[in-house]
Amino acid sequence: MTSIPITDILTIIFVLVDDWYQAEGHKYLQGKAGRKPEFKDSEVMTLMLAQDFIPYPSETQYITSVRDKGLQLR
């Protein structure tokens, strides 16, 4: 059996989440107070959902892996 690369998993999840967000999700997150975010809502949702599909024992290891893939998380 072949595994799917993490970058492919992130891309697939992002496309699904962003399509949903553009059609429906923006209604639920309107009027957020505060400064302009550095990430789009659909990007944050993608990372949250992907954590369930990528088998890392801790959040710290997951974040380290995502950073190693080229994403800049703070």
Largest CA distance in the chain: 47
Overall pTM surpassing 0.75 (yes/no): no
- Asked if the structure places residue 20 within a domain, the reply is yes
- Asked if the structure places residue 62 within a domain, the reply is yes
User: What's the number of domains the chain is made of?
Assistant: 1
Which amino acid type is present at position 12? I
- Asked if the structure places residue 1 within a domain, the reply is no
Mean pLDDT by 10 residues, the chain (74 residues): 79 93 82 78 88 82 79 54
Which pLDDT score is estimated for 19? 95
- Asked if the structure places residue 73 within a domain, the reply is no
What's the domain range around 45?
6-30+37-68
What is the end-to-end Cα distance of the chain in Å, rounded?
35
- Asked if the structure places residue 41 within a domain, the reply is yes
Q: Could you tell me if 42 and 14 are in contact, meaning their C-beta atoms sit under 8 angstroms apart?
A: yes
